[in-house]
């Protein structure tokens, strides 16, 4: 069955992108290493992380990026195209946290013939609030087929 | 006594430096995409289901638009490991690395079967203290990922922080270093 498609005309500034939550636990840490092949011990070895001055291990860039990308790609539909994603790792997602990822449309416009939607996206948790703020620029199809 | 770190010398030598292109050992494959999706419970059939993806505008399975996954296929995937640092190695007092921000700009999708390469360039290097290390070094880099037709599929801009451990900072300060 085809997934729902977002069209540029139907997007409202202020509209929320449905997000999701993921429990950060040992299983997720292992999946993170498997899914990113990032073997830097900061992201799975608590002793290494503490020696570096951190309180604990924390989730890596590839994991956070995949989560923010999912917020966009779940929402935009098969015909959408993520043109640009910017995000900052300001705080950490650690074992014991529940990471929630969300988004919101902040602008829409036509530039160089492309129908663009600009969204805030972010990851947050109860311990630290927003950990990973970001911004995404998405090209959406129009109902007229451009 | 340790030699004093000269940030101006490092800036002169490294800003603008580009590494030779690295090419992924294997073409883009289904299973690393599946594992990438699995970690964030992404069940999007465009990334996972060849039959579904074949009937979309893309004509087949594509990668989630993650700069990390692009880099994985361009350089991070080999086993046995061939050390391919994310950025050209810049001398710094500390060897601990944190990725602070990333921007990924996409020009095309990546399809299963594509064969990716990456070129890395240092855009900026500067020193700015952080809580645990007054000598922390910040490195801004740009990574250009191309496909087998030498078309740019994405450009990744990273800011990495290189810092020392608290013990290393304490040891340096005992020697009268910052």
B1 part of a folded domain: no
pLDDT recorded at residue A38 = 87
B22 part of a folded domain: yes
**Nearby residues of A107 by Cβ (< 8 Å), 6 or more positions away:** A13, A117, A118
Least CB-CB distance to B35: which of A35, A53, A67? A35
Could you give the CA distance from residue B22 to residue B120 in angstroms, rounded to a whole number? 9
- What residue spans of chain B are helical by DSSP H? 7-14, 30-39, 45-48, 50-54, 67-71, 166-174
Residue A15 contacts residue A67 (beta carbons within 8 Å): no
pLDDT recorded at residue B16 = 94
- For the CA atoms of B63, A123, A71, B66, the dihedral, rounded to the nearest 10 degrees, stands at -10
**At A130, is the pLDDT very low, low, confident or very high (cuts 50, 70, 90)?**
very high
**At A105, is the pLDDT very low, low, confident or very high (cuts 50, 70, 90)?**
very high
Q: What is the pLDDT of residues A26-41, one digit of tens each?
A: 999 999 999 998 888 9
Percent of chain A whose pLDDT exceeds 90: 92
| CB < 8 Å to B133, chain A | 53
Could you give the CA distance from residue A90 to residue A86 in angstroms, rounded to a whole number? 13
If you average pLDDT over residues A114-127, what whole number do you get?
A: 98
Contact across the interface for A66 and B102, Cβ inside 8 Å: no
Q: Which regions in chain B score pLDDT beneath 50? A: 1
B109 part of a folded domain: yes
Least CB-CB distance to A84: which of B35, B39, B105? B105
3-state secondary structure of B16: coil
If you average pLDDT over residues A48-77, what whole number do you get?
A: 96
**pTM for this entry:** 0.92
More confident residue, A16 or B20: A16
Q: How many domains does chain B have?
A: 1
pLDDT recorded at residue B82 = 57
Give the domain range for residue B124: 12-174
Chain A CB within 8 Å of residue B82 CB:
no
B95 part of a folded domain: yes
Contact across the interface for B67 and A31, Cβ inside 8 Å: no
CB atoms within 10 A of CB A19: 20
B2 part of a folded domain: no
Could you give the CA distance from residue B124 to residue B130 in angstroms, rounded to a whole number? 18
What are the CA-CA distances from residue A116 to residues A9, A13, A90, A106, B165 (Å)? 10, 12, 27, 11, 44
Closest alpha carbon to A99 in A71, A120, A126: A126
pLDDT recorded at residue B76 = 63
B66 part of a folded domain: yes
pLDDT recorded at residue B176 = 84
CATH 3.10.129.10 fits A12-24+60-139, yes or no: yes
What is the ipTM for the molecules in this complex? 0.95
Least CB-CB distance to B46: which of A34, A78, A89? A78
| CB < 8 Å to A20, chain B | 41
Q: What is the pLDDT of residues B72-93, one digit of tens each?
A: 899 865 556 555 565 667 888 9
A&B contacts, CB < 8 Å: 118
Contact across the interface for B67 and A89, Cβ inside 8 Å: no
Contact across the interface for B66 and A62, Cβ inside 8 Å: yes
CATH of the domain at B80: 3.10.129.10
């Amino acid at each position: 069955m085809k997934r729902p498609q977002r069209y540029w005309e139907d997007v409202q500034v202020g509209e929320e992108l449905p997000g999701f939550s993921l429990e950060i636990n040992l299983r997720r840490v292992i999946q993170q290493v498997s899914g990113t092949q990032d073997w830097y011990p900061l992201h799975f070895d608590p002793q290494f992380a503490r020696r570096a001055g951190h309180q604990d291990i924390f989730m890596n860039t590839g994991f956070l990026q995949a989560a923010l990308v999912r917020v966009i790609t779940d929402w935009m539909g098969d015909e959408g195209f993520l043109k640009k994603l910017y995000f900052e790792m300001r705080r950490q997602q650690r074992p014991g946290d529940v990471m929630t990822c969300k988004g919101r449309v902040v602008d829409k416009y036509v530039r160089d013939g492309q129908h663009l939607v600009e969204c805030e996206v972010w990851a947050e948790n109860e311990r630290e609030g927003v950990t990973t703020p970001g911004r995404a620029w998405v090209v959406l199809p129009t109902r007229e087929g451009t | 006594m340790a030699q004093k770190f000269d940030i101006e010398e490092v800036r002169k030598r490294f800003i603008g430096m580009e590494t030779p292109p690295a090419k992924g050992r294997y073409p883009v494959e289904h299973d690393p995409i599946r594992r990438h999706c699995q970690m964030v419970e992404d069940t999007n059939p465009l990334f996972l289901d060849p039959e579904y993806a074949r009937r979309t505008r893309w004509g087949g399975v594509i990668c989630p638009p993650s700069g990390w996954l692009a880099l994985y296929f361009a350089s991070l995937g080999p086993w046995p490991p061939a050390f391919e640092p994310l950025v050209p190695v810049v001398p710094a007092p500390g060897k601990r690395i944190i990725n602070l921000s990333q921007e990924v700009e996409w020009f095309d999708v990546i399809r299963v079967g594509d064969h990716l390469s990456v070129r890395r360039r240092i855009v900026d290097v500067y020193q700015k203290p952080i809580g645990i290390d007054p000598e922390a070094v910040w490195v801004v880099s740009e990574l250009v990922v191309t496909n087998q037709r030498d078309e740019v599929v994405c450009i990744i801009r990273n800011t990495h922080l290189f810092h020392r451990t608290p013990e290393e900072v304490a040891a340096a300060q005992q020697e009268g270093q910052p």
